[in-house]
Amino acid sequence: MTSLDARLKIDFFCPSSTSNFCQIPACTILRFEPPRLPSAVSICAFHFLSIIPASSNTGQLTFDCSSTLDTPIRPSKMSAPTGNPYARIDDLLSNVRNFKIIESTLREGEQFANSHYSTETKIKIATMLDQFGVDYLELTNPCSSPQSRADLETICKLGLKAKILTHTRCTIGCDAGVDGVDVVIGTSQFLREHSLGGKDMVAITKQALEVIEYIKSRGCEVRFSTEDSFRSDLVDLLSIYKAVSQAGVDRVGIADTVGCASPRQVYDLVRTLRGCVSCDIEVHFHDDTGCAVANAFSALEAGATHVDTSVLGIGERNGITPLGALMARMMPSSRDYVLSKYNLKMIKSIEDFVAEEVEINTPFNNPITGFCAFTHKAGIHAKAILNSPSTYEILKPEDFGLTRYVHFTSRLTGWNVIKSRISQLGLIMTDDQIKEVTAKIKAMADIRPLAIDDADSIIRSFHLELNNGEGQKGQSEQNGQNAQNGQVEA
């Protein structure tokens, strides 16, 4: 038997006395290899012995960890995954290769300015997302309207593999047959003052525990989330999260309601929360400052387990983490997991359908499905792509049922891509001839934009001229030979 006991003390410093968050140095956690991973050696074994309130500029956090092992433990050699030497080294807490998606197109997405889903549209979206492989579908509060309640009941009866969640209003949601209820309460000073009538954290915690107890009595999953988490007091957050975790919630949620958080802030808060609760952690990020995807990834690295998404990111204001963009971010880090779980070739059809329903265009720079996502133009890029696509692509278009394009009709075109196009057209030229026709294409592209047919026409005309020239040259040589032999052309 091997006994492991450790105490870790970390000094921290708060940048200012008004800061709610403390800058805590990152800790390196050893990975343990077989014969057996000791169950007690996990973040759940760590607990706060003391925490200095954020009103103090300095302080110390103390963690205890102890375990009894049947076999010795040994640190493994930790290295980046092969194929990407810059990939972040894993640790025991990261869920980058083991995460779940809570798809909120039918809840958050319905709050998008242009959204007005019919029942048929909701059924279609729910069915497509279920076939794609999402773990949960979150639907609008059934109290929003009679139709919202009827649609919730209809989708609950579809027999989908994904679990159905509703956002608050637990009694009606449970009556509709949902698998779980998402409870959310504002905890920032802004919301407590202007939305909750000045409730203090004691009252909020009491109300949360009562609701959680009721939902659990109905046999439904329950997630408790604070609203505006990143503008809430850290001590308040940890206090209420610890209370609801002990009450038996399935997940606690962190919500960046106004999109103010940075990836570093997200990592620090999720990592801290991971040490306070034993349940799963769900994250919800708005995209007001363009960080929703990066924040979701950072949260998974820190130990979050569930990410809220919507198709094309539609939602209140600038929306939330887009489903397709999250898949693009996760593929380089967890390719095997993503491919085994999600039907990536459905992304384009799902996005096209939702875009049409809410009357928007797919952005040109949308990850995966933007019209030029897999199009290469610069000559140096094109040459490398033709030799090995991985030189300038981190994602493979074939994984998503899409096609790679190499642009060959601009002034930036290199002769290697023209060589490839000539081969596709079934023509034969020498390298010098290819370089000559490339110069013709570039010269024309300096004058006006060229279509594919324009470039092909230049190539074919040049090839025809070459053949005619070779024919005339051959005839002249034959006439000269005939003259030497005493023959003349009639």
Q: Which two tokens stand for residue 319?
A: 């929306």
In degrees, to the nearest 5, what angle opens at C-alpha 355 toward C-alphas 349 and 357?
A: 105
Catalytic: 306? no
* Cβ–Cβ < 8 Å for 421, 407: no
Q: Residues, the chain, total? A: 490
- Beta-carbon contacts of 26 under 8 Å, excluding residues fewer than 6 positions away, are none
What whole-number distance in Å separates Cα of residue 381 and Cα of residue 414? 9
Instruction: Please pick, among 167, 284, 381, 407, the residue that the annotation labels catalytic.
Output: 381
Q: How many C-beta atoms lie closer than 10 Å to residue 241's C-beta?
A: 25
Nearest CA to 267 out of 66, 88, 138, 61 is that of 88
Type and span of the H or E element at 3: strand 2-13
Please state, in angstroms and rounded to a whole number, the distance separating the CA atoms of residues 376 and 405.
6
Q: Which of 24, 9, 28, 5 is nearest to 93 (CA)?
A: 28
d(CA 461, CA 351): 41
Q: Do 329 and 83 touch, CB atoms closer than 8 A?
A: no
Closest by CA to 201, choosing from 246, 167, 232, 223, is 232
Coil, strand or helix: which one is 254? strand
Please state, in angstroms and rounded to a whole number, the distance separating the CA atoms of residues 308 and 28: 28
Q: Which amino acid is at 139?
A: L
Q: What is the DSSP string of 311-351?
A: GGG-SSTT-B-BHHHHHHHHHHHHHHHHHHH--GGGHHHHH
C-alpha–C-alpha distance, residues 247 and 243, integer Å: 6
Known catalytic residues are 381
